[in-house]
Amino acid sequence: DSGVTQTPKHLITATGQRVTLRCSPRSGDLSVYWYQQSLDQGLQFLIQYYNGEERAKGNILERFSAQQFPDLHSELNLSSLELGDSALYFCASSVGGGGLTDTQYFGPGTRLTVL
Amino acid sequence: SQQGEEDPQALSIQEGENATMNCSYKTSINNLQWYRQNSGRGLVHLILIRSNEREKHSGRLRVTLDTSKKSSSLLITASRAADTASYFCATDAGTGGFKTIFGAGTRLFVKA
């Protein structure tokens, strides 16, 4: 158990819908990272927040947005969903804000299926 | 294209044998990490190697980094069936970048 929690575990929805994925980092970690893992694209970095502020942006679509709240939990919002958005979405956290400077601890993931 | 690319894509060995996986990247980095993922589960950090380091050990794991060749290797010695998993290298974007870029991974099968 990494100490990072993600809800829900599974999500099945229809095209055009909007969903929110939630992540609670390990106690004491200030950074939260979001990743998308699909069979054809592999593990893609989406975005990183550090202590409430956006720190780095990766291959995040404009239909997706994220935020980190004062209690450091984070939400990833996916809207106008398409079939191709079906994937595993992972959240990770780390103590510092330097990306790979320290270990990233991964949550169990949310499996999103868009029908 | 991705910063980190693992080679081989898949590797099948017998228990007790050593497994070597390679990672190549394109631009300069500050740090490189190796992660392991059991099927459908979250990634688990294995080892971090910084750009000024050449080799690190952790238990049965040995990681090397050759910045001149922009490559790293992960060696698992005396493999066990429980080592069956996918292994990913992750790099940052070097010069002030914080993006974490994962390779496509190597799927390791260790037969008992």
pLDDT tens digits along B50-86: 999 999 999 999 999 999 999 999 999 999 999 999 9
Q: What is the mean pLDDT of chain A?
A: 94
Is there a contact between A99 and B103 if contact means CB atoms under 8 Å apart?
A: no
Q: What is the pLDDT of residues A12-31, one digit of tens each?
A: 999 999 999 999 999 999 99
Asked if the Cβ–Cβ distance from A42 to B40 is below 8 Å, we say no
Q: Which residue has the higher pLDDT, B99 or B73?
A: B73
Minimal Cβ distance to A42: which of B41, B91, B104: B104
Query: Average pLDDT of B84-97?
Result: 79
Taking contacts as CB-CB distances below 8 angstroms, the residues of chain A near B30 are: 100-101
Strands (E), chain B: 4-7, 10-14, 19-25, 31-37, 43-50, 55-58, 61-66, 71-76, 85-92, 100-102, 106-111
More confident call, B3 vs A103: A103
Does position B93 have pLDDT exceeding 70, yes or no? no
Do the Cβ atoms of B48 and A48 come within 8 Å?
no
- Dihedral (CA of A99, A103, A105, A111) sign: positive
Q: B40 Cβ partners below 8 Å, 6+ apart?
A: A88, A109, A111
Answer whether residue B1 shows pLDDT above 50: no
Whole-number pLDDT of residue B15 = 97
The whole-angstrom separation of Cα B98 and Cα B88 is 18
What percent of chain A lies above the pLDDT cut of 90?
81
pLDDT, tens digit, 9 for 90 and up, residues B19-46: 999 999 888 888 899 999 998 888 999 9
Cβ(B74)–Cβ(B34) under 8 Å?
yes
Instruction: Considering only the beta carbons, identify the residue of A43, A56, A100 that sits closest to B88.
Output: A43
Q: Do A110 and A6 form a contact (C-beta atoms < 8 A)?
A: yes
pLDDT > 70: what percent of chain A? 99
The answer on pLDDT for A100 being more than 60 is: yes
Question: Residue B106 pLDDT more than 60?
Answer: yes
Higher pLDDT, B97 or A34: A34
Question: Given this model, what pLDDT does residue A91 score?
Answer: 97
The confidence score (pLDDT) of residue B6 equals 81
The predicted-structure confidence for A37-65, as pLDDT tens digits, reads as follows 998 778 899 999 999 999 988 889 999 99
Whole-number pLDDT of residue B33: 93
